[in-house]
Amino acid sequence: MNLLIFEYITGGGFNRQEIPASLAKEGGLMLSALLENFSAMPEINITLMLDYRFLPSFSDSKINIATLTPDHNVHEEFFCYCRTNDAVWPVAPEFDGILQNLCRQVTDAGKLLLTSPASAVAATADKFTTWQALSRLQIPTAATRLFQDCRYLPGEWIIKPIDGAGSSQTYLIFNQTDFSVAVSSISDFSRYIIQPHLEGEKTSLSCLFKQGEAWVISANLQEFSIHGNQYRLDGCRVNHQPPKPVHVALANQVAQAFPDLWGYAGIDLIDTPEKTWVLEINPRLTTSFAGIDAALGINVAREVLALRENTPKFNPLRNQPIDINLKHES
């Protein structure tokens, strides 16, 4: 199989601008882990789209490197490389329709997409429609309203971009002053949602999905700090604990709510003493993916390839927590 791998941050998505250090670190970790997974499969011939600034980090004689410079149009290059490969694994943020459009390009090129299709990305990228879909099935989730319909109410709140990835451009609201600061910082209210700020253990699930079913690979602990009333993801502990029955149940409920989800995807949860809440669904590789092989000895890429014909049967070779550090200088 000839496979194209395109991780948006390291692969040229920022080829005409400075790359934010935090995004580069996360993108590089996910890409390295994906390449390590596929390096165990000599039958796979890899073409890797790579921003020219990352060449020293990812030079490999076994990989066909397609270098992107500021002279390239990244989307045109992506479509060209799609047409010359059998399968494609895109990794990209959901905001601005980036991941959705990449997935659609793969399908338009008639190639095998090794991630969720554009329909699943569209359904889960929008946090308001995600809340609606989860609520219809009575899946516990934070009450969500469009920010443009809101005024300040007493209590603790969090304001997020409706299609944001990670904690970028989120605002914690503890009082009227915080609310006013957030309002002054947001240019387009229609692109934001507001939710109650739930306190609890921030857990993520690494899962495989197929035709309305889900299989939990690992339960991970997310580590955040607060800077200027904004969350910052500092890292995660992969395989923090064995998945609880409630985690497995929620993953399967999410699969039923979004039956188009396919392959690897992540679910963000808040575990409180009273209940476990679903916050977000990430229809792509997540940072936790970078630690799964070291934590459990599971080759997720191999499992995804096998998912086309079989249901997953994980055989962990080890069982240990792995810490991923994402802290960066301000």
Nearest to 196 by CA among 161, 242, 145: 145
Hey, what CATH topology would domain 124-138+199-325 get? D-amino Acid Aminotransferase; Chain A, domain 1 (3.30.470)
Mean pLDDT, the chain, rounded, equals 93
pLDDT digits (tens, 9 = 90+) for 293-326: 999 999 999 999 999 999 998 999 999 999 999 9
Q: Torsion angle, CA of 39/264/3/78, rounded to 10 degrees?
A: -130
Q: What is the DSSP string of 222-268?
A: EEEEEETTEEEEEEEEEEEEPPPHHHHHHHHHHHHH-TT--EEEEEE
What is the band of 176 on the pLDDT scale with cuts at 50, 70, 90? very high
Residue pair 124/139 in contact (Cβ under 8 Å)? The answer is: no
Give the 3-state DSSP-derived string for 84-124, with helices as H, strands as E and coil as C: CCCEEEEECCCHHHHHHHHHHHHHHCCCEECCCCHHHHHHH
What residue segments make up the domains of the chain, in order of their start? 2-114, 124-138+199-325, 145-196
Residues in the chain: 330
Mean pLDDT, residues 125-139 taken together: 95
**Model confidence at 51: pLDDT above 80:** yes
Amino acid at 287: T
Report the DSSP pairing between strands 45-51 and 64-68.
parallel
Q: pLDDT, tens digit, for every residue of 92-129? A: 999 899 999 999 999 999 999 999 999 999 999 999 99
pLDDT band at 168 (very low <50, low <70, confident <90, very high): low
Q: Name residues whose C-beta falls within 8 Å of residue 317's C-beta, 6 or more positions apart in sequence.
A: 296, 297, 298
CA 144 to chain centre: 20
Distance CA 204, CA 284 (A): 13
Q: Which CATH class is domain 2-114?
A: alpha beta
Distance CA 166, CA 94 (A): 10
pLDDT digits (tens, 9 = 90+) for 61-91: 789 999 999 999 999 999 999 999 999 999 9
| pLDDT at res. 330 | 46
Q: What is the mean pLDDT of residues 247-273?
A: 96
CA–CA separation, 226 vs 122, rounded Å?
Answer: 29
